A = this chain, B = another copy of it.
Amino acid sequence: MNIDEIQESLRRFAEERDWNRFHSPKNIAMALAVEAAELLENFQWLTEEESRCLAERPEDYQAVREEIADVQVYLLRLADLLGIDLETAIRDKMRQNAEKYPVALAKGNALKYTRLGK
């Protein structure tokens, strides 16, 4: 994914519409949380099993695909507004996670999963 190019395109999109004054990081973080909840909404009455077979429900699958894109768009926008390099941030986080959840302790344990994270 060419992050720079997409962020540049989103920046231009906001400028052309005179939306920068609405695009404070605070507001974009709100918009992102709202989109994450819209994504969640598609799963709320499905069983976990049904969610694993989402592709069998083409309408839901398409809706989820669009909500995933919405979350990604706001995330790219927020990182851009704050001058955060998304790829480096992820790699740093994955390194932290590897230390925080050592295989020996975390293996197959959902509760430890959550608790170790604190």
Query: Chain A residues in contact with chain B, CB under 8 A?
Result: 1, 3, 6, 9-10, 13, 16-19, 21-22, 24-27, 29-34, 36-49, 51-52, 54-55, 61, 64-66, 68-73, 75-76, 78-79, 81-84, 86-87, 89-90, 92-94, 96-98, 101, 103, 106-108, 110-111, 113-114
Contacts and interface: CB of A to CB of B under 8 A. Distances in A.
B89 A32 contact: no
A13 B98 contact: yes
Nearest to A98: B13
Which of A69, A83, A103: most chain B CB closer than 10 A? A69
Given A1-B87, A65-B84, A17 B103 contact: yes
Contact of A52 (B24, B37, B40, B69): B24
A75 B66 contact: no
A38 to B, nearest CB: 7
Which of A17, A61, A79, A84: most chain B CB closer than 10 A? A17
A46 to B, nearest CB: 6
A114 B13 contact: no
Contacts of A17: 101, 103, 106-108, 113
